[in-house]
Amino acid sequence: MTTTPILASLAVGQDIGSRSVDVTRTDLVKYAGASGDFNPIHWNEAFATGVGLPGVIAHGMFTMGAAVQLVTDWAGDPAAVVDFQTRFTKPVPVADTTGSPEPGAAIEVSGAIGALNAEAGTARVDLTVVSAGQKVLMKAQAVVRLV
């Protein structure tokens, strides 16, 4: 059972946790089906490299969703997230590991309280999102309504 954080007990700079999200090409195909984004850069190696990418890359919205999951788990309620914004800085290449237990990529996410607004009853969570040693999202910030 997740306990909802109490706004009054939080402090700027406080760590909310971290997680690693393993990504496979199968995950990308499933996401394409769910989102309707069938752009071949997300599943076809030859096409992706043909347009100058390092290979198949994760959908940007997949990466955003993987990142914000840390916040929704911490808050205990996805509806508590009232705003989430970021800038995409680097793609997340996903290697073909078909037949291997290894993921094609990992997205590392950590979060800390960036700001508190007692009047609005919100906390801003600043996320650090890295894959293969590179920041893939910048200014990733989620605003969470708390009591």
- Inform me whether the pLDDT recorded for 1 exceeds 70: no
Distance between CA atoms of 40 and 91, rounded to whole angstroms? Answer: 14
* CA 128 to mean position of chain CA atoms: 9
> What's the pLDDT at 2?
60
The 3-class secondary structure across 68-87, one letter per residue, is HHHHHHHHCCHHHEEEEEEE
Q: What is the pLDDT of residues 35-57, one digit of tens each?
A: 999 999 999 999 999 999 999 99
CATH code linked to domain 7-145: 3.10.129.10
Q: What is the pLDDT of residues 107-124, one digit of tens each?
A: 999 999 999 999 999 999
Q: 46 in helix, strand or coil?
A: helix
Distance between CA atoms of 30 and 8, rounded to whole angstroms? Answer: 40
Place of tokens 């914004």: 85
